[in-house]
Structure formats: structure tokens, C-alpha cells
């Protein structure tokens, strides 16, 4: 029984001291003929040996194009086979993969590419209603007259190479399918040489997280960070080469690329993608058709699957496990997932991008009440403590800030030493900003957030980022953004705006100002124009008062959370 809120994941299973490329090749050697990747919407079905051939050719092609280890290469695409190829090929070539949210629009893309000095970008031509090529042309009109690989753009000075997924390549871009053809003998020899010289502590991935500073921060992760986290996530689910994991969660999140892809490749399991983006019917069809044994999702995804009109007609009998994460899971939903989807060993996971991401996970045999009321127990080789405002460890059951230390903690925020030092202290503890309790048996419960982050449908949104963007509107003098309860997404965004003297604006004008510039999930659903904000006597804005007023006005009392 714990005497203080400190836990460490003692384990007889050691950490993996390999690069992602070395580990992937070992998996291919062990399970060459096992199915590795099934992409339903692309009619792709590859064994591990097939996937290796695609990965190696693309990796050598990137080197032949002049990319060097350490260069940053962005990927801006929904889920597809090209994403997976790029993930493993960049790791083998020593390139740093920069995950760009497919929902990002022009202002966000501009910031992300320039922040990391990205030299190359792999991008889909279009996704849903978004024309990615048109957005790139707006940012870099020089592309239309540039030779592929020789872009010189005023607004994107570091970007030279654009690689387009799908369709005939636009002017100034390479087609993704053509890159493997550039893999000459010299490039393949270079790739083989790198396999023995790359180090597992090399940075390999940058993931942008919304920041309280108004701009996203680039969490920089190594081979060691995400390979080991993926492996131990798979261990917690008891994955093996017999398992087939349905992955409807996005690959640009750690949820998809680590808890999905790397959990599979470290265990010889099959990665199964039902669609480019989440659609409940395609998930149900895929689980049945591909005999999936595991399924990932945020609670809203599982709710959509359970409530689909055709749910009862699908055979989900082979399902066993998976992960539900991203936001708290209602106990009734968990019970239905276990009873109606046959996921008796479904697990709950908690973490953050900066910790690769998982720190806590329930086990497959934890009681259902534990899997709903807590986020499980500490992961192997990870330490966590809960501290008070003075930094002292609190007693079991007492709330405080959750701090994490171990192999999983990021190297830092790319190009932002100040923010890195604020997040990771001198003793190596990552300050999560989450309020938590740890009980005497080591189970953790997340009870709140120190700052005012909003979680909308599993997406973490920091109001300050949206406020910074809305300040650009010529009529806006001041703006405060906060979350209000929502039955579908958990929380929705609300903006209170003070207009400048003599200016006018309407709700739809504010939303239209956001369209195409910031991600759709960051656009406030509710907009109110006010003369002033509720303040403390010291002049601090009281967002909780604003939230309470909106809850009352919108009659959201039934959904109101503590």
C-alpha cells in the first residue's frame, strides 16, 4: 500500500535499445509472411515483407532527393498507406517526421513548417472539402513555376521539396509513387549504412500540441521514446502476431502512430485502417470483414459505433481488446463496449504527447469500475508523483499536479528552450498541468486541469491559441475563449468578444473569419458580444463565471461537469 503519491513501474521486461528501423527489420525477419497492413479504402493488403520493400524503397528515394539525417519532413495527410510508409521510411533515413494535423489551415501550416524549418512536405492532394494543393499555392505561389525539389518560396524559405499523395502531381511537386523510383544503388547503400549509425536517442518525430502561449509547441520525440511506449502499450493489451488491430484514430496523433502502428509492429500484429477518417459504419464493416481482435477509439467513436442503426447486424465476436482514451469514459459506455462489442479486455490509457504518450494504463483484467473511474496503474519504467503547490509529494488520495519522469519524456519543445525549461524541471520531471490523485493501490484518477484547456471530442484545445488568432480581426478589441459542456463532444468552445469603439461584427462573421485559417474544431460554436468581463478585484478575468452564465443561458445544466 502506498504511503505517498509516488509510483514507479518496476519491470522484469527491459527497455528496447534499438532504433525504429532496427526494430522494424527484426519484426520483418520474425514474421515476414504475416499480414502487416490492411487499408480497406485503398484495397491494400501487405505482409511484413511487402511493407518493408515499400518502406526501404521510399526511404532510399528520399535520400536520393538530397534529404539528410536530421532534416525535418512534414506529413499533412489523413490515414492511408503512404502515411505508414513515410513513418517508417523517415525513421530509417534518420529524418525527423513532423506530424501536421489534417485539419490545419493556412495560418497553422505556415507556422508549423517555419517553426521546424521543414525541408520537405508529404501531403495529400485533397481531403474532404479541403484542397491542400490550393492552400500550398496560397502560401507558396512560387511552386507553380518551380522544378520539383527546387522550391524557393518567400513565406516558406526552408521548404524545397513537396511530395503529393494521390492523383497526378501538381506543378512543382513529386508524385509519392515516383519517389521510390529515385532509389539508386548509392541511396540504398547509404540507407544500409545509416542502419548501423543512427542512434536510438536521435529525435525522430515532432508533434504539435496546442499551447497556452497562443502558438502550438513542437514536442520532440526520439526512437527510444515512442518505440518503447508502443511496445509496452501492446504488452498491456497482450498483443501477439495473432492480433489484428482496427485503427480508426488519426495517425497524426500518438494514438494512431504509437498506440496503433508501433504497438502492432513490435508484436507482429496487423494494422487495419477502415477509412481515411473516422466513420462508424466503415469501422463496423472492417472489424467483421477483417476479423479484428482489437479496436482503438475515443469515447465518442465507440458511442457512434454502438448507436449506429446497423450495429446489430455485424459480427464483432472476434474483438477482445483495444484502447479507449482521449477523454473520460462514461461507465455505461464501457459496459456496453464489453457486453455488446465483446471487448472484455478493453483498456483505458492516459498520457500526453510530451510523454510519448502513455504513463498510465489499465490492465486487461482490471474490474470494469477501475477501468472507468481511473486511468489504471503506472506503465513499466515510468515514474509519477503527485505534488502540491510547493512541490511536495502529497498523501494517497490527495489531489495535486501530476509529474512524470522516465524514458518516455520528450527531449523538449523544438526551438523553444524557455518553454522546455518550464515543462521539465532540473530533476527531469515533466509537469503535465493535470490535477490527479493516486490511491493506495496505485490507481490514478485525473480530476481536472490546472490551466483552462478544453477537450473537444478528444482534441486538446488551448483557448489562448484561438484568442490570439481572433485578435487579428479588425473589430475585436478583446476576446476570451472557454469551454462549455456538450453532449456530443464533451465540451464546445465559446468566445466572449469586446468590440473596438465604433466597430460592428456578427457571430457568423467571426466564424467565417476562422474558416480555412484554423482547424474546424477550434472554431467557437458560441459567440457572444459583451461590454466587459467578470473580474476579480485584482483585474483577473473570471472564466468560470462566464462559463456558468453560458451554462445557464444555454440550459446545459444536465451536462455541467465539475
- Specify the number of domains making up the chain: 3
* 532-555 burial code (b ≥16 CB/10 A, e <16): ebbeeeeeebebeebbebbbeebe
Specify whether 68 is located in the same domain as 141: yes
How far the first Cα of the chain sits from its last, in Å, is: 29
Does residue 23 form part of some domain? no
CA distance 270 to 49: 13
- Report if residue 21 sits inside a domain: no
Task: Give me the residue label for grid cell 495473432.
Answer: 242
For residue 178, which phi and psi values (nearest 5 degrees)?
A: -90, -20
Choosing from 156, 182, 199, the residue where a domain stops is 199
- pLDDT, residue 212, reads 42
Same domain, 415 and 477: no
CA distance 67 to 194: 13
Q: Long-range contact list for 101-104, CB < 8 A, 24+ apart?
A: 101/208, 101/250, 101/252, 101/519, 102/76, 102/77, 102/78, 102/127, 102/130, 102/250, 102/252, 102/277, 103/519, 103/520, 103/521, 104/76, 104/519
Alpha carbon distance 219, 206 (integer Å): 5
* Residue 548: CATH number of its domain: 3.30.300.30
Q: What is the pLDDT of residue 560?
A: 44
Based on the fold, state whether residues 445 and 468 are members of the same structural domain.
no
- Domain contains 474: yes
The answer for 247, left when phi > 0, alpha when psi is -120 to 50, beta otherwise, is beta
- pLDDT at residue number 562: 35
CB 454 within 8 A of CB 491: yes
Q: What's the grid cell of residue 143?
A: 511552386
Task: Judge whether 493 lies within some domain.
Answer: yes
Measured in whole angstroms, how far is the alpha carbon of residue 105 from the centre of its chain?
17
Using CA atoms, how far apart are residues 176 and 160, in angstroms rounded to an integer? 15
As a whole number of angstroms, the distance between CA 347 and CA 349 comes to 7
Is the residue at 42 inside a domain?
Answer: yes
Q: 313 and 394: one domain?
A: yes
- Considering the domain boundaries, does residue 247 fall inside one? yes
Report residue 236 CA to chain centroid gap.
Answer: 20
Q: Are residues 71 and 137 in the same domain?
A: yes
The list of the chain residues with pLDDT below 70 reads 210-214, 327-328, 448-449, 536-540, 557-562
Burial string for 163-191 (b: 16+ CB within 10 Å, else e) reads bbbbeebbebbbbbeebbebbeeebbebb
CB within 8 Å of 364: residues ≥ 6 apart: 236, 237, 238, 321, 344, 345, 347
CATH of the domain at 113: 3.40.50.980
Residues 229 and 318 in one domain: yes
CB 294: neighbour CB atoms within 10 A?
A: 30
Alpha-carbon span 218 to 230, nearest angstrom: 20
The pLDDT score that the predictor gives to residue 222 is 98
- What pLDDT sits at residue 202? 98
- Asked if 401 and 450 count as a contact pair (C-beta separation under 8 A), the reply is yes
Full 3-state SS string of 366-424: CCHHHHHHCCCEECCCEEEEEECCCCCECCCCCCEEEEEEECCCCCEECCCHHHHHHHE
Whether 42 and 158 share a structural domain: yes
Q: Are residues 527 and 400 in the same domain?
A: no
Q: Are 247 and 303 members of one domain?
A: yes
CB atoms within 10 A of CB 471: 12
Sign of the four-CA dihedral 218, 223, 229, 234: positive
Same domain, 331 and 383: yes
**CATH assignment at residue 437:** 3.40.50.12780
Burial class (CB in 10 A: 0-12, 13-18, 19+), 345: buried
Report if residue 1 sits inside a domain.
no
Q: What angle do CA 340, 341, 342 make, to 5 degrees?
A: 95
Q: Is the domain of 142 the same as that of 279? A: no
Answer yes or no: are the C-beta atoms of 174 and 47 closer than 8 Å: no
Nearest to 292 by CA among 246, 342, 226, 357: 246
The one-character DSSP state at 180 is G
The partner residues of 384 in beta bridges, in order of sequence, read 7, 404
- Give the range of the structural domain holding residue 67, as residue numbers without chain letter: 36-199
Quote the radius of gyration of the chain (alpha carbons, Å).
Answer: 23
Given a contact cutoff of 8 angstroms between Cβ atoms, the answer to whether 438 and 7 are in contact is yes
Residues 407 and 544 in one domain: no
Which residues, including other chains, have CB under 8 Å from residue 114's CB and lie 6 or more apart?
155, 156, 157, 158
The residues that bridge with 358 in the sheet, in sequence order, are: 351
Residue 403 resides in a domain: yes
CB 237 within 8 A of CB 267: no
Domain closes at, from 388, 417, 449: 449
Amino acid at each position: 500500500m502506498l504511503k505517498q503519491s509516488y509510483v514507479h513501474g518496476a519491470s522484469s521486461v527491459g527497455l528496447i535499445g534499438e532504433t525504429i528501423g532496427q526494430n522494424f527489420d527484426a519484426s520483418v525477419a520474425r514474421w515476414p509472411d504475416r499480414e502487416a497492413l490492411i487499408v480497406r479504402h485503398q484495397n491494400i493488403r501487405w505482409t511484413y515483407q511487402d511493407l518493408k520493400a515499400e518502406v526501404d524503397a521510399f526511404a532510399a528515394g528520399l535520400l536520393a532527393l538530397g534529404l539528410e539525417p536530421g532534416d525535418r519532413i512534414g506529413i499533412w495527410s489523413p490515414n492511408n498507406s503512404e502515411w505508414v510508409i513515410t513513418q517508417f521510411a523517415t525513421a530509417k533515413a534518420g529524418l525527423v517526421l513532423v506530424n501536421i494535423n489534417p485539419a490545419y489551415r493556412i495560418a497553422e501550416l505556415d507556422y508549423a513548417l517555419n517553426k521546424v524549418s521543414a525541408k520537405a512536405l508529404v501531403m495529400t492532394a485533397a481531403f474532404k472539402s479541403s484542397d491542400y494543393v490550393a492552400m500550398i499555392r496560397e502560401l507558396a505561389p512560387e511552386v507553380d513555376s518551380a522544378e520539383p525539389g527546387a522550391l524557393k518560396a518567400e513565406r516558406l524559405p526552408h521548404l524545397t521539396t513537396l511530395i503529393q499523395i494521390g492523383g497526378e502531381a501538381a506543378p512543382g511537386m513529386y508524385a509519392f509513387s515516383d519517389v521510390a523510383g529515385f532509389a539508386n544503388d548509392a541511396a540504398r547503400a547509404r540507407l544500409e549504412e545509416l542502419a548501423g549509425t543512427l542512434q536510438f536517442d536521435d529525435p525522430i518525430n515532432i508533434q504539435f500540441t496546442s499551447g497556452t502561449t497562443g502558438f502550438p509547441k513542437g514536442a520532440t520525440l526520439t526512437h527510444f521514446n515512442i518505440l518503447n511506449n508502443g511496445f509496452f502499450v501492446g504488452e498491456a493489451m497482450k498483443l501477439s502476431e495473432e492480433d489484428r488491430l482496427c485503427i480508426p484514430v488519426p495517425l497524426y496523433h500518438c494514438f494512431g502512430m504509437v498506440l496503433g502502428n508501433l504497438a502492432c509492429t513490435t508484436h507482429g500484429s496487423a494494422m487495419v485502417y477502415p477509412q481515411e477518417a473516422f466513420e462508424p459504419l466503415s469501422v463496423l464493416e472492417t472489424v467483421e470483414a477483417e476479423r479484428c481482435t482489437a479496436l482503438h477509439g475515443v469515447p465518442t467513436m465507440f458511442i457512434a459505433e454502438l448507436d449506429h442503426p446497423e450495429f446489430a447486424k455485424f459480427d464483432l465476436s472476434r474483438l477482445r481488446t483495444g484502447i479507449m482514451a482521449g477523454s473520460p469514459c462514461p461507465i455505461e459506455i464501457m459496459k456496453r463496449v464489453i457486453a455488446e462489442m465483446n471487448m472484455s479486455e478493453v483498456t483505458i490509457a492516459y498520457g500526453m504527447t510530451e510523454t510519448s504518450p502513455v504513463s498510465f494504463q489499465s490492465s486487461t483484467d482490471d474490474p470494469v469500475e477501475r477501468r472507468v473511474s481511473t486511468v489504471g496503474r503506472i506503465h513499466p519504467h515510468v515514474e509519477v508523483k503527485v505534488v502540491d503547490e510547493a512541490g511536495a509529494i502529497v498523501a494517497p488520495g490527495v489531489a495535486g499536479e501530476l509529474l512524470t519522469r522516465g524514458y518516455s519524456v520528450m527531449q523538449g519543445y523544438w526551438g523553444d528552450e524557455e518553454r522546455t525549461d518550464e515543462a521539465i524541471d532540473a530533476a527531469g520531471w515533466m509537469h503535465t498541468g493535470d490535477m490527479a490523485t493516486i490511491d493506495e493501490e496505485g490507481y490514478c484518477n485525473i480530476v481536472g486541469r490546472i490551466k483552462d484547456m478544453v477537450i473537444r471530442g478528444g482534441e486538446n484545445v488551448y483557448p489562448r491559441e484561438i484568442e490570439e488568432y481572433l485578435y487579428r480581426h479588425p473589430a475585436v478589441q478583446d476576446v476570451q475563449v472557454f469551454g462549455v459542456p456538450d453532449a456530443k463532444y464533451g465540451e464546445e468552445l465559446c468566445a466572449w468578444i469586446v468590440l473596438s469603439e465604433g466597430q460592428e461584427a456578427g457571430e457568423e462573421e467571426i466564424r467565417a473569419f476562422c474558416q480555412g485559417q484554423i482547424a474546424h474544431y477550434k472554431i467557437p460554436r458560441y459567440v457572444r458580444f459583451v461590454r466587459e468581463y467578470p473580474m476579480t478585484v485584482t483585474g483577473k478575468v473570471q472564466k468560470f463565471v462566464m462559463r456558468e452564465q453560458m451554462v445557464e443561458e444555454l440550459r446545459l445544466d444536465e451536462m455541467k461537469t465539475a
